[in-house]
Structure 1
Amino acid sequence: MAAVLDSVRALFAPKTETAFRIDRENPGDVLARERLLDAAMGPNRKKKSSESIRRDRIPAEGLALVARDEAGHVIATVRLWDIQAGVTPEGRAVPALLLGPLAVDSAHEGKGIGGALMRAAILEAKKREHGAILLVGDAPYYERFGFSAAKTATLMMPGPFERHRFLGLELKDDWLDGVAGIIVPTGRKLAVSATRKAA
């Protein structure tokens, strides 16, 4: 992981006065991440269809990343989640990843941090031999990373979504060919705390 992140920093880090490093998310980042997402996505972020897939799940192994400033503060975040991206015509379930949310602190927008974080996430997903990444987001932004609505034309989100914003990127050739159906979560579930069990 360290080698991949070092390569991304060297190749894609913006030439600005803002120094940052890409790192794995750790438990101490939770509060900062949630505040960043609330500020970037607004109060209705937990009502989105993507959130129903992420709810009570753990991100895919090694695929919860953050960007930190020189003081170590979280200034951007991205997570990827294990999903089933429909089935093949033969009925075989197709595993994939759902990316999101990606967010950058407003004080650091426009400095290439989000792009560097995206590239790090894609490289790490390839390294871990995942076949495809899906997301719901602005096509003009994500197309630069290879995402396309054509890859998700026969797939559906579990709830309201805008078709032109539902995008896919194949990490392995033809991974999504012929695949159809509704996206469902397959990732590990959060452990129920002792307090919640007692309630």
Structure 2
Amino acid sequence: MTAAVAVPSVQITSELPGDATAVEALVARAFGPGRYAKTAERLRERASFAGGLVARSGAGLVGSVRLWRIAVGGRPAHFLGPIAVDAAHRGGGLGADLVAAAVALARKSGVSGVLLVGDAPYFSRFGFAAAPAAMLPGPVDPRRLLWLSLDGSPAEGDVTG
């Protein structure tokens, strides 16, 4: 007979101003300093913060996702990312839960869609598809530039923050 192990539940809530330091530390552990060289980071630097969600387990922050206000072809949209999950909590679906919650938050905001840079096989389950006509302000692998339309519009034109 094996003993049951208590696993703390994880709750996804809105990011609070006091969470910023913990979110930054989590993102740093997940992506390292190389993230600063990426076009996605340049776009986030120019965009304003639209909102974030965090995953808490006990007293600790174990996951995070953020949304940024951008425009795609002049239409209001959100840029999703980064998504970070603590190494000890990966593989259980927490990242997917954070993405789904961020998409729900974006839907409530009334934007035309959500743009991200990521792996199509992972994000396609949420409805994201390639956005070859969206032009980021820097180099990006076009296969990784993905769009989820929330109003039926395509992602076409310059992406600005």
Please tell me whether Structure 1 or Structure 2 has the larger radius of gyration of its CA atoms: 1
Cross-structure match for 1:76: 63
Q: Aligned equivalents of 1:130 and 1:84: distance in 2?
A: 9
Relative distance call for 1:132 and 1:57 in structure 2 (3 A) is closer
C-alpha deviations, 1:91-124, integer Å up to 9, x for none?
xx21111111011011100111111111111111
Q: Aligned equivalents of 2:46 and 2:133: distance in 1?
A: 27
For residue 18 of structure 1, report the CA deviation from its aligned partner.
4.6
Percent identity over the alignment is: 43
In the alignment of these two chains, the number of paired residues is 156
Question: Structure 2: any 5+ residue segments left out of the alignment?
Answer: 1-5
For residue 74 of structure 1, report the CA deviation from its aligned partner.
1.1
| Superposed structure 1 runs of 4+ greater than 3 Å apart | none
For residue 184 of structure 1, report the CA deviation from its aligned partner.
0.7
For residue 58 of structure 1, report the CA deviation from its aligned partner.
3.3
Q: How does the TM-score come out when normalised to structure 2?
A: 0.90
Q: How does the TM-score come out when normalised to structure 1?
A: 0.74
Cross-structure match for 2:17: 27
Q: Aligned equivalents of 1:160 and 1:28: distance in 2?
A: 33
Cross-structure match for 2:55: 67
Cα RMSD (Å) of the superposition?
A: 1.6
Q: What SS is found at the alignment partner of 1:29?
A: helix
Relative distance call for 1:56 and 1:95 in structure 2 (3 A) is closer
Question: Structure 1: any 5+ residue segments left out of the alignment?
Answer: 1-15, 87-92, 186-199
Cross-structure match for 2:40: 50
Q: Aligned equivalents of 2:92 and 2:8: distance in 1?
A: 8
Cross-structure match for 1:193: none
